[in-house]
Amino acid sequence: MRYVSTRGGVPKVSFDEVLLTGLAGDGGLYVPEKWPKIDLKKIGRSGEVSYAEVAAHVLKPFVKGSVIESELFEITDTAYSGFGDPAVAPLVELAPNEWLLELFHGPTLSFKDYALQVVGPMLERVLTARGASVTIVVATSGDTGSAAIEACKGRDAMSIFILHPKNRISDVQRRQMTTVTANNVFNIAVDGTFDDCQNLVKGLFSNKRVRDELQLSAVNSINWARIIAQSVYYVSTSLVLGGPEKPAVYSVPTGNFGNVYAGYTAHRIGVPVEFFVVGSNSNDILTRYFETGVMTAADVVPTLSPAMDIQISSNFERLLFEAYGRNSATVAGLMTSFGKDGQYIVADEARSFIDRLFLGCRLDDNGTLTAMRRIYEETGKLVDPHTAVGIVCGRQFSVQPTMPRVTIATAHPAKFPDAVKSATGVKPDLPDTLSDLFERSETYVCLPNDIDVITDYIYSTRTNL
């Protein structure tokens, strides 16, 4: 399988190259040259195949030609063996035909583990085969950081630097990152927002000298390997709900558009989907786009669902690429105008392509608190603020009663104890593996939102020499 950039400015590359570099050299995102098709019936029936087997089956066409192709099942089997639920990604019924897909049973309690626990060992194998090493730099709005650290800690061929926006993530989220003691892990609290962190990472990558000298690698949701690993749980859900014939509605609390785009990937390879609901909090650039057809950046406001406090949804570019019939020149033009003016307009034809499958919805913090309380009263379940946005947004659009509605539960409620407690009066407990989190000691540096300072810090501390 070969991959092309959404902006068309670089040659086609292999999966291994995509895995190692993340972002393409022209600033675009890699997508497969052609969509493979998977016959869901060949994967086997739900209950008869393990999640790891489904994962190996789904990933296979995407890694064709890679050194990891022959070891796929070994990788997925090891990756998911430590998850806290035997189903790995269990579907829980909230109400008749309304489901929660619980993606918080990995080591750091967010859905990001479902991708990164696979991506870490994939990277290690490719690096070992090449005798190479990488410096991984990640911007996190809270959950990517700890998931990336858990996936990469102690792997000698990698140094990992995590940039998080200072005081804009929860204490649990920060401690999950800063209490890890592996010597290849470096946490940086940046004086700024998540978008500032993301721009710093983009700045590092766009400097060719820095990129080459440090062998920079990104494991953010722009990394294609994460997208395909996440598409697996849409496939496993479809198997449970009676696919390949029966479609479902998927409501996805969205930030960088990675998770919902993984759903689109699953759809392109064979999962039947009625539509996706793209849920946002008050940082509603996507909802405004769905209302107007214009993507316009605005300032980020902090909310109770910080992993969605984003005004640039990077992975949307991948969908635009499809919506414009894979015309990379047009996509490159839109992205240039977004960079210059903070705005671009989607043409009618591309817009209706997107509207056929995606609907936007927003919920502010008051609505989120009310929802968490109502869900607790109705079902006895505590849900995290991101999941609450997903559930409410999923209920906004009416469907036939026989149509399954699935909300992606993106984090464990204990990652956001303050919000959950103020909504329900109940403080959610951390699972046993993390129960002493607040007794562990923290290590991190605070740095200004300044690309030169960050670059110097990485050069002087990295361990992968």
Ligand X SMILES: *Cc1c(COP(=O)(O)O)cnc(C)c1O
Instruction: Output 254 or 282, the one with its CB closest to ligand X.
Output: 254
Side chain identity at residue 94, one-letter code: L
Does 145 sit near ligand X (CB under 6 A)?
no
In the complex, the smallest distance separating the C-beta of residue 211 from ligand X, rounded to whole angstroms, is 23
DSSP letter at 61 equals G
381 has catalytic annotation = no
Pairing of strands 294-296, 216-217: unpaired
**CB atoms closer than 10 angstroms to residue 450:** 13
Q: Which one is catalytic: 112, 166, 202, 415? A: 112
The string of DSSP letters for 422-438 reads HHHS-PPPPPGGGTTGG
Instruction: Output 286 or 346, the one with its CB closest to ligand X.
Output: 286
Contacts with ligand X, 362-381, as mask; x by CB under 6 A: --------------------
Q: Is residue 86 reached through a cis peptide bond, with omega within 30 degrees of 0 on the bond before it?
A: no
Scanning 23-31, 84-92, 197-205, 250-258 for contacts with ligand X by CB under 6 A, the matching segment is 250-258
Which residues pair with residue 188 across a beta bridge?
Answer: 163, 445
Does 417 sit near ligand X (CB under 6 A)?
no
Does 394 sit near ligand X (CB under 6 A)?
no
Instruction: Output 40 or 228, the one with its CB closest to ligand X.
Output: 228
The string of DSSP letters for 136-151 reads EEEE-SSHHHHHHHHH
If residue 253 lies in a helix (H) or strand (E), which one and from where to where? strand 248-253
- Sole binder of ligand X in the list 308, 323, 382, 454 (CB under 6 A): 308
Does 263 sit near ligand X (CB under 6 A)?
no
Does 307 sit near ligand X (CB under 6 A)?
yes
Q: How many residues bind ligand X (CB under 6 A)?
A: 16
- The rounded distance, in Å, linking the Cα atoms of 421 and 13 is 48
How long, in residues, is the chain?
465
Instruction: Output 117 or 410, the one with its CB closest to ligand X.
Output: 410
Does 257 sit near ligand X (CB under 6 A)?
yes
- Sole binder of ligand X in the list 32, 90, 253, 413 (CB under 6 A): 253
Sites for ligand X among residues 95-114 (CB under 6 A): 110, 112
> Are the C-beta atoms of 23 and 31 separated by less than 8 Å?
no
In the complex, the smallest distance separating the C-beta of residue 215 from ligand X, rounded to whole angstroms, is 25
Smallest CA-to-CA distance from 144 within 263, 25, 226, 237 is with 226
Does 259 sit near ligand X (CB under 6 A)?
yes
> Are the C-beta atoms of 357 and 267 separated by less than 8 Å?
yes
Contacting residues toward ligand X, per CB under 6 A: 110, 112, 143, 221, 253-259, 307-308, 386, 410-411
The residues carrying an active-site annotation are 112
